[in-house]
Amino acid sequence: MKTTFKPNRGQFIGGGIAASAATFAGINVIAAPMKELVIGLNVPQTGSYSDQGADQLRAYALAIDEINAAGGVMGMKLKRSIGDDQTKASVATENARRMIERDGAIMITGGSSTGTAVAVSKICQEKKIIFMATLTHGDETTDESCHYHTFRRYNNAHMSARSMAQTLLTKYGTGRWFHITADYTWGHSVYDNLIEVLEPKGAKTIKNVLLPLGTTDFSSALSQAQAAKPDVLVITEFGKDMVNALNQAAQFGLTKSAKILVPLADEYMAKGTGDNFANVVTTAPFYWKYHAEKYPAAKKFVQAFIRRYGVPPSNGAENAYTDIYQWKSGIERSGSLDPAKFIAKMEGHKFTATKEPEYWRAFDHQGINSCLVMEGVPMAQRGAEYPAFAFAKVLEVHDGESVSIPQSTSKCKIETA
C-alpha cells in the first residue's frame, strides 16, 4: 500500500497558519508522541528485476504485519511508504528523497541492483537516514561506496567468487571462458572478481561482452559465444535479463556445448529457466529448501511465507525479512530512533536469524554470513514440493568470514557520522 499524506484544503491552510505562527513567535514546537514509524520500501516493481522486487515486498509485508501484530517497534506501529525504483538510480534516489522528506521515513530499505543501492546509500548518508540495503551483490555497496548509515547483509561478488573458485576449477577446469556481463556496477564487480580468482589459475578469458541492463535479445552476444567455442559461458545477468540470456543460450545449443556459470541466481530466475538451469553452477546467500531443513527460524519463516503467498521465498525475500527484524532489533537495543545510537548498536552485533550465527562488520557495515555454492538440478529430479523453486542442490557452504573482503584490502572509508 502506498502511504500518501493528502491534506484537504482546510487542513493545509490551518497547518500553514499554525506553522507560520509558531515560527514567528519563536515557539519551540515539541512533537506529539509518535504513533507510527514510517519505513520506505524502495524496490523495482517494473523492469528487469521486478520479480525480485515483488518478492521482497511480500517479505516486507510479512515482517511488518508480524511486528505490528506483536506490538510494533518500541510500541509504535510500522507504516510503509512504497516506491518503484524501476532499477534506475535516478528514480531510486527520487523515491528515497520523497519517502524521507514527504512521508517522514526514518529508514529506507530495498534494492535489487547495486546501481540503485549505491545511489540510495548516498542520499541516505546526506539525509542521515538508515539504509538497510537488501538485494545488492556488487562489492561497491560496502566497499568503495560504503556509507556510515548503510548496512548490507546480502553476500557480495567478492564472497561469491571466492566461494565458487575451487568448485569452478574442479568442475569446469581452466579452459576458455566467454563472459556475457550486465554493463553496470554489479556486472563489472562480478566480472572483476571472477577474473581475479580464475585467471591466476590458468583460465583464459576469450571475451567479455558487456550489454546494457534491460537487454532482452542476447542473440548477437550468443552468436559470438558460439563462434568462439568456449569451454565455459559465464552469464553475469540478473532477473529477467538472465532468464532471457540463459533460455536463448539453450536455443543456440550453448547449454550443451559449454558449461554454464551464473554467478548469482534466485528462485525466480530458476523458475523462468526451468530445465535450462540444470547443472548450472551459481551462488546465493540463502536457499529456502536448504535452510528450512537446517535452521528452525528459517523453517518458521519459510512456512509463514508459503502459508501467506502459496510459494516459497526467494533469497532476496529472506534478506528483506531479516533486514526488517535486524533494524527493529537495533532500534530496540539502542532504545532510540537516533541513527547514531542505532549504528553504534549494530556495528559488530552478533545474532542468529535464519542461518548460522552471523554479525555486522564494524568497518564497512557488511553482514558476515555464509555463501552457498549451488548447482541446478533437472526438473525431473526436483520432487513434488514446489519444483520450479526447488532448483538446486547445495555443493558447498562457505563461512562468510573466510570469503569476505579483508579489512586490509577494503576500499571502504566510512564516515564517522
Partner 1 sequence: MPGQLLDGFIRGLLYVAIALGLTIVFGMLRLVNFAHGAFYIIGAYVGLVVTEHVGLLAGIIAAPIAVALFAIAFDFALLRRFYDKEPTAQILVTFGVAIVVEETLRLIFTGTTRTYVVPAWVQGSLNLGFTQYPTYRIAFGLGVIVLVIAVWLFIQRTNYGLIVRAGVRDRTMVQLLGGNVRQASTVIFALGAALAGLVGAAASPIYSIDPGKGFEFLVPSFVVVVIGGLGSFWGAVLGGLLVGELQSLTTLFLPAASDLVIYVAMALVLLVKPSGLFGESEVIRG
Q: How many residues bind partner 1 (CB under 8 A)?
A: 37
Interface pick for partner 1 out of 26, 212, 310, 406 (rule CB under 8 A): 212
CB of 183 to partner 1, least distance (A): 5
Interface pick for partner 1 out of 205, 248, 279, 329 (rule CB under 8 A): 248
- Is residue 11 a contact residue for partner 1 (CB under 8 A)? no
CA-based nearest residue to 372, from 388, 361, 356: 356
List Cβ neighbours of 233 (8 Å cut-off, separation of 6 or more).
177, 178, 180, 225, 249, 254, 258, 259, 260, 261
Question: Do 336 and 345 meet the contact criterion of CB atoms below 8 Å apart?
Answer: no
List Cβ neighbours of 107 (8 Å cut-off, separation of 6 or more).
37, 39, 40, 129, 130, 131, 132, 327
- Cell numbers for 282: 551459481
CB of 214 to partner 1, least distance (A): 7
Interface pick for partner 1 out of 23, 219, 402, 407 (rule CB under 8 A): 219
List Cβ neighbours of 165 (8 Å cut-off, separation of 6 or more).
197, 198, 201
- The amino acid at 50: S
Of 24-43, which residues contact partner 1 (CB under 8 A)? none
- Is residue 84 a contact residue for partner 1 (CB under 8 A)? no
Of 271-290, which residues contact partner 1 (CB under 8 A)? 271-274
CB of 209 to partner 1, least distance (A): 5
Interface pick for partner 1 out of 104, 173, 175, 214 (rule CB under 8 A): 214
List Cβ neighbours of 139 (8 Å cut-off, separation of 6 or more).
156, 157, 158, 189, 193, 405
Which x/- pattern, by CB under 8 A, does the window 170-199 give for partner 1? -------------x----------------
CB of 389 to partner 1, least distance (A): 12
Q: Which segment (145-153, 221-229, 366-374, 391-399) binds partner 1 by CB under 8 A?
A: 221-229
Bridge partners, residue 282, by sequence = 374
Enumerate the H helices of 5-78 as residue ranges: 9-24, 50-69
Interface pick for partner 1 out of 37, 39, 43, 54 (rule CB under 8 A): 54
* Euclidean distance between CA atoms 280 and 299, whole angstroms: 26
* Euclidean distance between CA atoms 278 and 249, whole angstroms: 13
Interface pick for partner 1 out of 39, 100, 190, 250 (rule CB under 8 A): 250
CA-based nearest residue to 278, from 387, 396, 161: 387
- Cell numbers for 250: 539453450
Per-position b or e across 34-51, b if 16+ CB within 10 A of its CB: eeebbbbbbbbbebbbbb
- Is residue 206 a contact residue for partner 1 (CB under 8 A)? no
- Is residue 223 a contact residue for partner 1 (CB under 8 A)? yes
- Is residue 205 a contact residue for partner 1 (CB under 8 A)? no
Interface pick for partner 1 out of 30, 227, 380, 417 (rule CB under 8 A): 227
Residue with cell 525475500: 317
Strands 232-236 and 259-261: parallel
Of all helices (H) and strands (E), which one includes residue 143? none
Question: Do 174 and 259 meet the contact criterion of CB atoms below 8 Å apart?
Answer: no
Residue with cell 549505491: 118
Interface pick for partner 1 out of 45, 68, 166, 336 (rule CB under 8 A): 45
* Euclidean distance between CA atoms 102 and 183, whole angstroms: 33
List Cβ neighbours of 9 (8 Å cut-off, separation of 6 or more).
none
Interface pick for partner 1 out of 61, 123, 190, 221 (rule CB under 8 A): 221
Interface pick for partner 1 out of 60, 268, 287, 389 (rule CB under 8 A): 268
The residue among 148 and 177 lying less far from partner 1, judged by its C-beta, is: 177
CB of 26 to partner 1, least distance (A): 50
Interface pick for partner 1 out of 38, 41, 43, 50 (rule CB under 8 A): 50
The residue among 272 and 312 lying less far from partner 1, judged by its C-beta, is: 272
CB of 415 to partner 1, least distance (A): 32
- Is residue 90 a contact residue for partner 1 (CB under 8 A)? no
CB of 217 to partner 1, least distance (A): 6
The residue among 45 and 68 lying less far from partner 1, judged by its C-beta, is: 45
Q: Note the residues at the interface with partner 1 (CB under 8 A).
A: 45-47, 50-51, 54, 183, 209-212, 214-217, 219-221, 223-224, 226-227, 239-240, 243-244, 247-248, 250-253, 268, 271-274
